[in-house]
Structure 1
Amino acid sequence: MTTPTFVYDGDCSFCTTCAEFIETRIPTHARVVPWQFADLESLGLTVEQCEEAVQWVGADGSTASGPDAIALMLRDAGRGWQLAGGALQLGPVRLAAWPAYRWVADHRHLLPGGTAACSLPQAQRDLLYGKDA
């Protein structure tokens, strides 16, 4: 793999809004792709990992999730974004980032742009809306 990849939940409107912000405002070299349309096997990811948190797969195949993935994506963007990504990787900030990330992930269906489907794991979405929904 030569291009890093940032993977998010494309069924979640809040996540999609964040991904659109990344694509339009953050000059990362990464492909920004919903996991539902990604070749997870070739990325070395599982559905469970992608349901749990955003994922970063580096050009070298290394992976990170949640705020660690966000930090690497920001560092990849260079300049001012690189500073923000580096700050997110600092011990105390990283320690606080995980509970904050988990809270947002658990409540994303209540955030602007979120929908009820955002709170459901993929297996439940498939049961309620059909596998192709």
Structure 2
Amino acid sequence: MTEPTLVFDDDCGFCTWWAEFFDERTDVRVVGFSDLTPELRERLPEDYVECSHFVTDDEVRSCGASIEAGLARIDDVGAVREAIEFLRNFEDYERVRENGYRWVADNRDFWGQFVSKTPPVRREE
């Protein structure tokens, strides 16, 4: 694997909106759960469908950490990256990031009313 990859639920309109957001603004490749290669699937945790994942040659970051990694790629040296680096100085940051991710993920139907795109698995050719 040479390029960073965001793995997401491609049967979720809210998740698709975020994946396309990253795809348009970063060098990150986006791959839906339905398009996983055996090699990529092997690198993911057993319960991979529970959240998104950011996969590089060196690591796999899941859930809130995956979104953080994608956001950091939008702005490698600017305000977004600086804000993430600043927040990492706080002891509770990781817990808050993951709880925030879980809260949003558990309420995707609500958030999808505001930002959503037709998921790839539901698009007609």
TM-score interval w.r.t. the shorter chain? 0.7 to 0.9
- Secondary structure at the aligned position of 2:10 is classed as coil
Residues 42-91 of structure 1: CA deviation (Å, up to 9, x unaligned):
12125731x2111011123x111011112222333412232244345443
Aligned residue in 2 for 1:4: 4
Q: Could you say if the C-alpha distance between residues 42 and 69 of structure 1 is closer, same or farther in structure 2, counting changes exceeding 3 Å?
A: same
Query: Does the 8 Å CA contact 1:67/1:88 hold for their aligned counterparts?
Result: no
TM-score (normalised: structure 2): 0.73
Letter in 1 for 2:77: R
Structure 1 distance, partners of 2:102, 2:96, is 10
Give the total of aligned pairs.
111
Which blocks of at least 5 consecutive residues in structure 1 are unaligned?
A: 119-133
Distance of 2:92 and 2:71 partners within structure 1: 18
Q: TM-score under structure 1 normalisation? A: 0.69
2:35, 2:68 → 1: CA distance? 23
Partner in structure 2 of residue 82 of structure 1: 81
User: 1:11 aligns to what SS in structure 2?
Assistant: coil
2:51 is matched with 53
Inter-partner Cα distance in structure 2 for 1:66 and 1:88: 17
AA aligned opposite 2:8? Y
**What CA distance in whole angstroms lies between the structure 2 residues aligned with 1:69 and 1:88?**
16
Q: Distance in 2 between matches of 1:96 and 1:22?
A: 22
Which structure dedicates a bigger proportion of its chain to helix? 1
1:66 aligns with 2:63: yes
Post-superposition CA distance 1:3-44 (Å, at most 9, x none): 1111111100010011122222x32x22112121121x3121
Superposed CA RMSD in Å reads: 2.5
Question: Partners of 1:46 and 1:92 in 2: how far apart?
Answer: 24
Q: How many Å separate the matches in 1 of 2:106 and 2:17?
A: 17
| Alignment-derived partner of residue 15 in structure 1 | 15
Aligned equivalent of 1:122? none
Q: Which sections of structure 2, spanning at least 5 residues, go unmatched? A: 120-125
